[in-house]
Amino acid sequence: MTRLTALAVSTLALLAEREMHPYELYQLMLQRREDRVIKVSAGSLYRAVERLASDGLIAASGIERHGHRPERTVYAITDAGRQALRESLAEMLGTHVNEYPEFPVAIREVRNLPAPAVAQLLRDRLAAVSESIQLTDAALDRVAAKGLARHFVLDVHYARAMLEAESRWIAQTIDELDAGTLTWPADVSAAPAAPTDPAAVAGAPAAAASATPE
């Protein structure tokens, strides 16, 4: 089976709850704030639905029409779709993959900026992360007040834990920059080259060779 995209997995998961037309799927994703963890637009969702239908993972189950609005095709998940959903979730949960976020790229190349600027930029980021933590805590409090089972919001708890870890790391790095214990190039216009030997970076796994030398 071809690996499903995150959007396809979310679509199958919603259709596993009940039959829906694509517009309802899109509205429900936004209502549940799934756009926090997957890139989704109306167009990308409709394309995902078409692909899932062509692969036999979902199937049209009826036509819905309200008033003068255009007809909308309602889709249901198939047995093959349920199996694909379970297999995809198992692979996503049990396999660690590099998702290539941007922040580590900036951190790796940050020596190209002067230390005072880096400290201020990290303070700006720390403020934004702290605000996100507060908003997440408020959302979790509302969920708890409604008595919603915790497994429905495990992703929010995970996101909160990641934000907390990032907050601690940023705060520690700022402290090191302020104290001068984090060494920095005196001239950032001639920043030293990074080590090319993966063994020089403690704990960093070497990337697999993409080609065999002739």
In eight-state DSSP terms, residue 74 is E
Same domain? For 111 and 88 the reply is: no
Residue-level length of the chain? 214
Same domain? For 37 and 66 the reply is: yes
**Domain stops at, among 70, 94, 118:** 94
Same domain? For 89 and 110 the reply is: no
Query: Two tokens at 135?
Result: 């908003």
pLDDT, mean over the chain: 89
Q: What is the share, in percent, of the chain residues with pLDDT greater than 90?
A: 76
Domain CATH code at residue 89: 1.10.10.10
pTM: 0.78
Same domain? For 23 and 74 the reply is: yes
39-73 per-position pLDDT tens digit? 999 999 999 999 999 999 999 999 987 767 788 99
**Residue 194 resides in a domain:** no
Tell me which of 48-52, 100-104, 162-166 is least confident.
100-104
Compute, in degrees rounded to 10, the torsion defined by CA atoms 165, 171, 176, 177. Answer: 120
**Can you give the pLDDT at residue 214?**
38
Same domain? For 87 and 109 the reply is: no
Q: What is the share, in percent, of the chain residues with pLDDT greater than 70?
A: 87
Question: Domain range for residue 51?
Answer: 6-94
Query: Two tokens at 2?
Result: 């071809």
Distance (Å, whole) CA 183 – CA 192: 12
Same domain? For 88 and 12 the reply is: yes
**Residue 110 resides in a domain:** yes
**Residue 205 resides in a domain:** no
203-214 per-position pLDDT tens digit? 555 554 444 443
C-alpha 204, offset from chain centre: 22
**Residue 185 resides in a domain:** yes
Same domain? For 22 and 73 the reply is: yes
How many separate domains does the chain show? Answer: 2
Give kind and range of the element (H or E) at residue 64: strand 58-64
**Residue 195 resides in a domain:** no
Distance (Å, whole) CA 190 – CA 173: 22
**Residue 31 resides in a domain:** yes
Same domain? For 159 and 88 the reply is: no
Same domain? For 32 and 89 the reply is: yes
**Can you give the pLDDT at residue 206?**
52
pLDDT band at 19 (very low <50, low <70, confident <90, very high): very high
Sequence-distant (≥ 6) Cβ neighbours of residue 75 within 8 angstroms: 15, 19, 20, 21, 22, 49, 52, 53, 58, 59, 60, 61
**Residue 214 resides in a domain:** no
| Mean pLDDT calculated for residue range 164-193 | 89
**Residue 203 resides in a domain:** no
Query: Two tokens at 23?
Result: 């517009």
**Domain stops at, among 94, 127, 152:** 94
Q: Are 44 and 7 in contact (CB under 8 A)?
A: yes
